[in-house]
Amino acid sequence: MPTMKNRELDLSEFPAGTVTEFTTLVCLACIFDIFTKQLGLAPRTAFSEIKRHTPAIEELTTRTAKRPYFDSDEKHPHCPFCGSAKRWLARFDTYCIEGGKTTDGPRRALLKKMPQAGDQFLVLEKKSDSRAVFFEWLGTLRLNLDLSDERWLLDATRNYLERRDPKTNWEEVFSEIRTVRRSARLPEGWERDGERLFLAPKIYGEALLIQYLVSRSQAHGGMTLEGRLTLMDLIRRLRYSGYLDQIGITEHDPGEIFEKLIDHLASTSDWSRVSIPTSRGSDRVIGSKKTTKKAAKKSTKSRKSKTTAPAQPDEIVVELVKLHYIIDRRDFLEKVKSVYAAYAS
């Protein structure tokens, strides 16, 4: 029996934040029950049907799975529906890889290395728009943050910067950072001064927006580096800092502004890493990304700023992103086999 460690897929070739992992448990007692009692199949037929079975992507990646699927963080989980213990429980690991130039190579290499026999892995594709990708990213980020520890504000900011500028080693930058502030003089980019990280107003504004989105609740707004803000507070700050003008939002209704903000954030190439320019809007974003890359390469100091012309309002482009799902069925196949052996004897 190989250990779990050896069985994990090597995802080290993928840029940070482009692969999302999901684990879902399935109770084989429940699934056998469904196939034999509800569907009336003989155990042997049920066995061969179940072996072929793969849950839908939604069941593998949402946190509200239905019988016979469930999620559990416990070390010794039990089925919440029938109480079955570990040997009846199988695990599906799902890896969602965002399609794009930076992930195509590593993804093909990974698929080549995976065992092909016996449907141990299943590969599916799904098209998604940048907004859906963005919200999925936000949901995962929220799950990985401890909102009761103030440090989460820095973690959320770092995660956002990793998406915006993947060429910089943000892990290293943040290892010494204690506070993040809005820069009064940087037109673009960022600058580190000891334990303080200064962000250009536009980047700082987007970091606040991310923090707001991660922590917002119906009644109390969201927590940010500037304290708890309602949507109105947040919009006011973004307006005064010039951010709304900069990205071409001229609306006055808070709801409409909010929608435009989300679309803007979700559709910039830095977020979704879709690199096929289809309009002037995309071109511009990609152009500005290149400048950032160049600056990142030549700077060995932790100082960086851009001297290019002031940013023009970006056009809102909803870009289609292809999501590649790799479903690891190995544990499931093994458990089905051993459970059937017990069942049939």
Q: Which residues bind Zn ion (CB under 5 A)?
A: 27, 29-30, 79, 81-82, 84
Taking Cα atoms as reference points, which of 206, 187, 194 lies closest to residue 304?
187
CB of 79: closest distance to Zn ion in angstroms?
A: 3
CB of 48: closest distance to Zn ion in angstroms?
A: 20
Element (H, E) at 229: strand 227-229
Nearer to Zn ion, 90 or 145 (CB): 90
Nearer to Zn ion, 135 or 343 (CB): 343
Length of the chain measured in residues: 345
Nearer to Zn ion, 36 or 140 (CB): 36
CB of 55: closest distance to Zn ion in angstroms?
A: 15
Are 142 and 160 in contact by the 8 Å Cβ rule? The answer is no
Indicate the burial class of 255 (C-beta count within 10 angstroms; 0-12, 13-18, 19 or more). Answer: exposed
Nearer to Zn ion, 81 or 343 (CB): 81
Q: Which long-range contacts (CB under 8 A, 24 or more apart) does 142-146 make?
A: 142/214, 142/215, 145/214
CB of 75: closest distance to Zn ion in angstroms?
A: 18
CB of 72: closest distance to Zn ion in angstroms?
A: 12
CA-to-CA separations, 58 to 55, 128, 278, 291, in angstroms, rounded: 8, 13, 30, 38
CB of 78: closest distance to Zn ion in angstroms?
A: 8
DSSP state of 217: B
Nearer to Zn ion, 27 or 199 (CB): 27
Taking Cα atoms as reference points, which of 148, 198, 164 lies closest to residue 292?
164
Rounded distance between C-alpha atoms, residue 267 and residue 163, angstroms: 12
Beta pairing class for 222-224 and 190-193: unpaired
CB of 325: closest distance to Zn ion in angstroms?
A: 25
Nearer to Zn ion, 145 or 339 (CB): 339
Helices (H), 241-309: 243-246, 254-267, 269-272, 280-298
Nearer to Zn ion, 27 or 209 (CB): 27
Q: Does the N-terminal peptide bond of residue 80 adopt cis geometry, omega within 30 degrees of 0? A: no
